[in-house]
Amino acid sequence: MRIMIDARMGHTRVGMGVYVRGLLRSLSKIDKENEYFVILNKGKKDNFIPLQDNFHKIYTGVTYSNYLKRDLWEQIYLPILLNRYKIDVYHGPNYILPLFSSKKMILTIYDTISFSNYGWYKPVSRYRVQKLLSLSAKKADKIITGSEHSKKDIISILGIPEEKIKVIYIGVDEEYKVIKDQSKLNLVKAKYGLNKKFILHVGSLNPRKNISRLIEAYNKLPLELSKEYQLVLVGGKGWRSNEIFAKIEKLGLNDKVLFTGFVEDDDLHLLMNAASLLVFPSLYEGFGIPPLEAMACGIPVVASNTSSIPEVVGDAALLFDPYNVEEMSVAIYKALTDEQLRNDLVKRGFERVKYFSWEKTAQETLAVYNEIYNSIGD
């Protein structure tokens, strides 16, 4: 079987990139027979592609940032590539499929955010994603999604039959584990200017991540706690991120809230180990990887009680209403000050993260490839 996978987002830290990297690495460990043709961005990091005979790299200069060129490339040139390399099954982990190809298609849909909350997308981007996602979902022979919650949304919002959707949970990378070498943790703290204990948030700065309310919740902590703990925001600037910096300025928290921008995985797992707490206040997630990564690193997690998050974290996180700033602040306070609760959350986190492995993700995905391949000619 000849499989093509679009991995142009594989060099990024966003959820799509984490998914592509983890999937490809694990497929290489369990599958030495099928041929994989992996599409990559020319000039971007590609060291996540396995160096073995059945994995082949295909480069393109068309990136995700130029929507017009990207759409034309996917709808006109990608079908040519599928024919040129005699591909049997195409896997699009980026919401969009080549609509005019007759090849067998698998689509990964992480969420249906563009249909749900209009304030979270630029209007033009929202319309584009809605149209292309709807058409791609109908085109797909099979849809993979990361949670039962997302599956229900795909059924209700996109009108896709339940039997066409397969839920496959995402794994946690091996480097996310407890690091006991204090010198490594001290070095990463010094690198990012951290001289206090800190509360960590990981995610792009956009309205869906609910960071403005997180800052308000942090500001409501008792003064002695906010003096003891910094709030560290890890992630790139996104749509309407200026509102977040305006909030920090308004509340006079410039010395207490630190923005790092994107952080490489080599640093991120160390920052998670050095943190006292991970807060995940998102209003909507199709899955949500950072809470599991934090649990694997042995730090307690407090998180939203919305969308797929309770499904992912189970009983291993302290949940709160993300629209209720007071409730969020109380959850943070408890997780910082109640030692018994902290220990319990860490213990439960270690157990919870055992349910999520990239090997299992790869095995279940390979089973979908085989199912679709075996249907050729039907």
Give per-residue pLDDT as tens, 59-100: 988 766 677 888 899 999 999 999 999 999 999 998 889 999
Report the percent of the chain where pLDDT is more than 90. Answer: 71
Mean local confidence (pLDDT), 337-349: 97
Q: Which is it for the CA torsion 300, 306, 311, 314, positive or negative?
A: positive
Are 315 and 365 members of one domain?
no
Question: Residue 16: what pLDDT?
Answer: 83
* Nearest in space to 27 (alpha carbons), one of 376, 374, 367, 375: 367
Q: What torsion do the CA atoms of 203, 129, 287, 108 make, to the nearest 10 degrees?
A: -130
Mean local confidence (pLDDT), 239-249: 78
Mean local confidence (pLDDT), 214-237: 92
Containing structural domain, residue 93: 2-171+357-374
Output the six-digit token pair for 220: 């409501």
What mean pLDDT is reported for the chain?
91
**Count of all residues that appear for the chain in the document:** 378
Q: How many domains does the chain have?
A: 2
Are 212 and 201 members of one domain?
yes
CA angle 244, 335, 176 (to 5 degrees): 80
Q: How confident is the model at residue 239 (pLDDT cuts 50, 70, 90)?
A: low
Beta strand residue intervals within the chain, DSSP E: 2-6, 35-41, 55-60, 89-92, 104-108, 142-145, 165-167, 197-202, 229-234, 257-261, 277-280, 301-304, 318-320
Mean local confidence (pLDDT), 153-180: 95
Domain for residue 161, yes or no? Answer: yes
Question: Residue 65: what pLDDT?
Answer: 65
Q: How confident is the model at residue 190 (pLDDT cuts 50, 70, 90)?
A: very high
Report the percent of the chain where pLDDT is more than 70. Answer: 96
Spatial distance between the Cα atoms of 18 and 301, rounded to a whole number of angstroms: 20
Count of beta carbons in the 10 Å neighbourhood of residue 188? 20
Are 167 and 191 members of one domain?
no
Q: How confident is the model at residue 104 (pLDDT cuts 50, 70, 90)?
A: very high
Q: CATH code at 140?
A: 3.40.50.2000
User: Residue 142: pLDDT above 90?
Assistant: yes
Are 196 and 138 members of one domain?
no
Are 163 and 188 members of one domain?
no
Dihedral pair phi/psi, residue 273, rounded to 5°: -65, -35
Are 365 and 277 members of one domain?
no
Which residues in 134-151 are b (16+ Cβ under 10 Å) and which e? bebbebbbbbbbbbebbb
